[in-house]
Structure formats: C-alpha cells, structure tokens
Structure 1
Amino acid sequence: MTHRLTVALHLLYASGLRISEAVAAKAGDLEWVSFPADEADGQAIDGWLLHVIGKGGRRREVPIPYEITSELSAYFDRRGLDTDLEDAENKAAHLLGKAPFEAAGPTATRRPPRPGLTVRAADGISASTLYDQIKAFFTDCAESLKAQGNERAERRFRQASTHWMRHTHASHAIAGGMPVQVAQQNLGHASLATTTVYVKTETRDRLRKVEAFWGKAEERRRVGG
C-alpha cells in the first residue's frame, strides 16, 4: 500500500471529508487554533482545523486529529517538503500529493515519473485518481477475505464505494458519542435530517436487548425441558 493511500484512508476516516474535498485540501487550508479554559469543563484546548469549501460553495471548518497531522507531516517529509505544515512554502502544497511512493515508512522509495512528466512535490491528484486507488484497495481486501472464507465481509468490500469512508466516519463518530449537530457541522450537511440517517444507537440497543431476551428465553427452555 502506498504512503499516499495510507494517509488518504486515515484522513478520510478521521475527518469524514468527501473525496473531492480531500484532494482539494492544501496545507494552507490548515490552521492551528487555541482556546482558553471555559466554564463548561475548565480545560484549555488546541488543535488543527481544516478550512473546507464543500457542496454549494458552503464553507466549514473540520477538526483534524493531531495524529493525522503528524502523519501528514511525515508524508510531506517523504515528498521533500517542509515537515512544518504551517511553513510558508507549504501553503500551496496539496495534502495528498501526485508523487507516489511504494510504501509508507522510512524505507519508502519514490517511483520515477513517467518519461516527459514533471511531478512537483506540491502537486495534487484528481478525485478520480484517488477513487480508483481506494476501489483497488477495497478489491484487494475483498480477495483477502474471500481467501479466509469470510463471504459476507467479502461482499461488503466488493460493494463498497469511496463514499463508504464518509458513511463509516459518521456512523462511528455518532455511535461514539459525538452529538448529531456536531457531526452535521463536520460533514457539511445542509440539513440535520441527512445526518440523523447515521444514528444507529437505538437500533443497536434494540438488537442487543432482543438478543439478551432470546438468550434468556433459550436458557429457560433448557432448564424447563
């Protein structure tokens, strides 16, 4: 798996960005912010925000976990860019670069560009390029699951679209306790109703309670029988 794909998958899952938003993002769109302690919890907080222009030209700020910006910094270093994401010379550098590498990690090697093609370290990629790369990754996952005999998971990966990463982020974030209104702002949904589609907590609890009920019923039958 290439270094770019590793970074892209982590970025998409952590942020819920659309693919078009991810490939358009540049280091200059990142901002380090700090907030003093407030009455709510008495704790100061700082972190990274990514300024995004989404559907309909709507602007929003998406929090990016520190672990992801650390990965981006290492990825920038691999591309020959400054590791400081706020460095002035990085301002126009795309977060996901055109120059590919064979693998993530310190031993990663840069592939030579095709003859006649000049690849600058700051250059980005198209949404279709990232789409194809992620779909190929999903296909590889499906083949691996097929070899393990896990047909259900194999089918899910074969059917998965790149938008699945956004769905997964939303579902996991809300299930993990993120308020729906916060998820709506992060995802850039114009309507809260769109975001509530990802609220599965009630259904999950119902499944758990029915399974618990059925387990107790089975136990009573065994004891009574």
Structure 2
Amino acid sequence: MTALRPSTLGRVSEAASDPGPPEAGLSEPMVRLLGDYERHLVSERDLAPHTVRAYLGDVSCLLDHCGRLGIHDVAELDLRTLRSWLAKMQTTGRSRTTIARRATAARVFTAWLHRTGRIPTDPGAALGSPKKHKTLPPVLRADEAEALIRSAADLADDGTPVGIRDVAMLELLYATGIRVGELVGLDVDDIDDGRRVVRVLGKGRKERSVPYGTPAGRALDRWLDVGRPGLRVEGSGPALFLGVRGRRIDQRAVRDLVHRRIADVPGAPDIGPHGLRHTAATHLLEGGADLRSVQELLGHASLATTQLYTHVTTDRLRKAYQQAHPRA
C-alpha cells in the first residue's frame, strides 16, 4: 500500500480543521488515492507546501464524509455527495469563505479523478459554491505607517543586529507589498541595489521584480553592511533575513514583529504582514497608481483580486466625505 508520509498525514488533519483525524476513518483504497493525489500536487503541479497541505486537508475531509455515507469507492462519488458535504459544513457554522474554498478544492480533485480515468464523469464541474463576502481589510493611514517604522527605528538606535533587521523588514514589507512568505524566502542576491528592485518568487513559483524606495534602500544597506554580519553563522547560506540563531528567519517571527510594533502606534488597527501588504496597495492606488500596475507589483494572477483595493479606497473616500461635507 502506498500511504502518505506520517508527517503529511498530521498536517492534513490540521488543515482539515475538523474534529478528529479524517484519515483515520478512510478505507485503504481512499488512503492510497490520497497518496496519489499528493504526488500529483507536488510533482506535477509543483504547488507550494502550504497549498498542498490545504488541498489535502480539504480532500481528506471530503473522503471522510464519503466514508460516513458508506461510500468507499471513489467511482461512487457524485454531485449529490459533494453537495451534502458542503451542506453539512454550512449547518455546522463554517464561513462562506471556508465553504467556497472547499468547493474549489473538490472541483480540482474531481477534475483530476476524471482526467486520470478514476471516474467516468466529473461531478465537480456542476458544483456551485457560495459567493465569498468581500470584507474590507484594515489598513494603516500614511502617518500610521510612518509611525510604525519610526517606532522600530527608535529601538534600533542601539545598533543591535536584530533591531537593524527589523527596520529593514518593515521598510521592505511596506515599500513593496510583498507577502510574508516571499519576504522570508528572499536571498541576498535577490536585491538589486543599483536599480532599487527586489526579485520575488511568488505564488505558483512566478518570478517578478518589485521596486522599492530610498528609505527601504537605506535600511537594507545598513542591514547588509552592519546587521547581517552580526547574525551570520556558518549555516546561514544566502538567506537575506536571518533569525537570532543565524538561520533563515521564519514567518512567525515576522508576524510577531509586526504585531509588536503596531501596538506602539496609538489608534492603529492590529494588523500583521498581510495588513502591510493591503496598506501598500491602498496607498499606491490613493497616490494615483493604475490598477494594472498594482496588480503586477502584488503578483495577483487576476485583476479581480486587485480590484478589492478600489473598494478600500472608495470606502475611505466615502467616510471622509461623510465627515467633511455639510450635506453628506
């Protein structure tokens, strides 16, 4: 039997976010099928580990639901079963966003089953999903963003490598709007100081170049010249940003940093690195950047994703109008 690696199975259970480990109740053929699907996602589609975990978690949850209905052969998977799975999540209080994501995972999975000849027709092709609520992400005002970086810079005045690093990371996050995963994945040679651009490997392993400004450039220069040598160890490798032990910094450390520094800004919303990404995009649009340029800078595959930020700027404009105009 070809089974998933134990470490992967544990992550599948976590990603499914349902009580109990779903894989424990799967039949042997279903476990084998899940293993084949994992290899497809990793080897053929070359998806990022986080995306693979999410897909496996959702599909594992679906197969567990099938087992509870007495379906132990994937050929019996039909549209009614898929709909009952989504309906069960709705009755247990899952959000629209979660249900929509799992519906997408089911469609990708059944398309793979059909394409590989495991099922005669693709039931997922007719599966609908609820529209996700478009929530307006909290963003910082320009003065709050400046205060955020200034609070970190004040703490870095003692010249410690960690303080210098923190300023450089905050400057780069706000200057470029890159994702936290993209930030921690940067290597030293991804920084082109002469042209003031950073080479980023984004979702789907798509590479893009993102410009950054003079303040971020100064912070990066100081980090590379003074800060990084103080943390570098034999196993540091080419990683741009290092943790206190000299290894590549992880995403959790960056998130903790942003939340700590945000707490120093009076009245600012509690945002993480993704909030800085939202903030950068919003400020670009408010400053006159066109939507296509912002899409390219952020690495969005679809313009519809970038258009969310137009709602953010319109909402801010509406609030300003209501507060200022005598006949609002």
TM bracket (short chain): 0.5 to 0.7
1:50-199 equivalences under 5 Å are 50-79=198-227, 81=229, 93-99=238-244, 119=246, 123-138=247-262, 140-141=263-264, 145=266, 153=267, 156-157=269-270, 160-199=271-310
State the SS of the aligned residue for 1:198. helix
Q: How far apart, CA to CA, are the structure 1 residues paired with 2:204 and 2:248?
A: 22
Q: How far apart, CA to CA, are the structure 2 residues paired with 1:72 and 1:27?
A: 10
Q: Who is 2:57 aligned against?
A: none
Structure 1 residue 71: Cα displacement = 1.5
- TM-score w.r.t. the length of structure 2 is 0.44
Structure 1 residue 125: Cα displacement = 0.7
For 1:53, give the aligned amino acid.
L
Q: Who is 2:38 aligned against?
A: none
- Which structure's residues are more often helix, by fraction? 2
Q: Deviations over 1:11-61 (max 9, x none)?
A: 10000011111111122112357xxxxxxxxxxxxx322111111211111
State the SS of the aligned residue for 1:4. helix
> Does the Cα contact within 8 Å between 2:164 and 2:222 map onto a contact in 1?
no
Q: How far apart, CA to CA, are the structure 1 residues paired with 2:201 and 2:228?
A: 27
1:13-28 equivalences under 5 Å are 13-28=174-189
Structure 1 residue 198: Cα displacement = 0.7
Q: How far apart, CA to CA, are the structure 2 residues paired with 1:202 and 1:80?
A: 41
Segments of structure 1 that go 5 or more residues without pairing to the other structure are 34-46, 82-91, 100-116, 146-152, 218-225
- Which structure's residues are more often strand, by fraction? 1
Q: Specify the structure having the higher radius of gyration (Cα).
A: 2
Segments of structure 2 that go 5 or more residues without pairing to the other structure are 1-154, 156-162, 230-236
- TM-score w.r.t. the length of structure 1 is 0.62
Percent of residue pairs bearing the same amino acid type: 30
Q: How far apart, CA to CA, are the structure 2 residues paired with 1:166 and 1:212?
A: 28
Q: How far apart, CA to CA, are the structure 1 residues paired with 2:283 and 2:250?
A: 27
Q: How far apart, CA to CA, are the structure 2 residues paired with 1:137 and 1:209?
A: 31
Q: Who is 2:62 aligned against?
A: none
Structure 1 residue 162: Cα displacement = 2.5
Structure 1 residue 216: Cα displacement = 5.7
Q: How far apart, CA to CA, are the structure 1 residues paired with 2:238 and 2:277?
A: 24
Q: Whose relative contact order is higher, 1 or 2, with alpha carbons under 8 Å and at least 6 apart?
A: 1
Q: Who is 1:103 aligned against?
A: none
For 1:141, give the aligned amino acid.
D
Mean alpha-carbon deviation: is it higher for 55-64 or for 11-20?
A: 55-64
Q: Who is 1:148 aligned against?
A: none
1:30-41 equivalences under 5 Å are 30-31=191-192
State the SS of the aligned residue for 2:170. helix
Structure 1 residue 209: Cα displacement = 4.3
Q: How far apart, CA to CA, are the structure 2 residues paired with 1:134 and 1:216?
A: 40
Q: Deviations over 1:57-115 (max 9, x none)?
A: 1111111223312211111121365xxxxxxxxxx54332224xxxxxxxxxxxxxxxx
> Does the Cα contact within 8 Å between 1:95 and 1:124 map onto a contact in 2?
yes
Structure 1 residue 202: Cα displacement = 3.8
Q: Who is 2:164 aligned against?
A: 3
For 2:243, give the aligned amino acid.
K
> Does the Cα contact within 8 Å between 2:240 and 2:248 map onto a contact in 1?
yes
